[in-house]
Amino acid sequence: MLKKFTQFPVICLLIGLLFLASCGSKKYVAQKSTAARAADAMSNLKSKQLYRFITDWSGVRYKLGGLDKNGIDCSGFALLLQKQIYNVELPRRSKDQADAIKKKSYGHLKEGDLVFFSFGGKEVDHVGIYLNNDFFVHASTTRGVIVDDLTLPAYQNTLVKAGSPK
């Protein structure tokens, strides 16, 4: 009889713990990583020529003034992409490219539109090409040509203009 009585509190404790654990559980919903979402953006491109261009240039290192696979800067990358994919001539510098676009609001951007940033003050000093689903491709000074997430604070806080070439 004594043995049954000492097991009772242990059983009650286990039942109580199970009850508390079930009440506090939440359904876990996995979030896609930035890399997976970037891959989705690439797979959702309408232009397969744009897809090939980006994959061909991905990882090319940044080089100020560069215009080839030995190194390229952001405005050079935008210039080559616009010329080869859309047959559009752009000025060489990102500041001048920003002056040569028809401005659009962020919510109306389409594949191939240009996005401009000001990291160093008031003037445009960086450019990328919008893809879809808040992703863009650009020549990053630290990572080279890369598909990146526009929703990152580093970009949201410095985005100054966006639009399509005139």
Residues labelled catalytic: 74, 126, 138
Q: For residue 97, what are its two tokens?
A: 């490219």
Residue 95 CA to residue 100 CA, distance in Å, equals 9
CA-based diameter of the chain, in Å? Answer: 93
Residue 114 CA to residue 82 CA, distance in Å, equals 9
Q: For residue 2, what are its two tokens?
A: 């004594």
- 116, 104 contact by CB (below 8 A): no
Q: For residue 107, what are its two tokens?
A: 């919510």
* Nearest CA among 164, 141, 138, 163 for reference residue 58: 138
In one-letter notation, the amino acid at residue 52 is: R
